[in-house]
Amino acid sequence: QVQVVESGGGLVQPGGSLRLSCTASGRIFNINDMGWYRQAPGKQRELVAVITRGGSTSYANFAKGRFTISRDNVKNTVYLQMNSLKPEDTAVYLCVVASGGNYWGQGTQVTVSS
């Protein structure tokens, strides 16, 4: 059984920062890509950023220059550093881990509001 658990969400003012973490545990081996998606109320889930096992990254246009994805392969953990947050970044942020199949976490709420 595989567990994927996100943490680090919360309430932040516009212009603020948050760092999300996601750790995969259990019977999971040779993780390939790790990524972050987000889903706002009434909107479709959208890709935020993805990172390969070798460290190559790609970002959605809205994330470029503000968000940074990184990972620790020893800890099976992926991070998302989010800076200059805007109210439109408010969403549930979900982690996905690719290892044979795709494993999703439950998500962590990010709310950007004054």
CA distance 98 to 5: 14
Task: Place 91 in a pLDDT band, splitting at 50, 70 and 90.
Answer: very high
87 three-state secondary structure: helix
Predicted pLDDT at 17? 98
Reading the block at residue 14, the tokens are: 């516009």
Task: Place 19 in a pLDDT band, splitting at 50, 70 and 90.
Answer: very high
Whether the Cβ atoms of residue 40 and residue 101 lie closer than 8 Å to each other: no
Quick check: 47 pLDDT over 90? Answer: yes
Whether the Cβ atoms of residue 87 and residue 30 lie closer than 8 Å to each other: no
- Percent above pLDDT 70 for the chain: 100
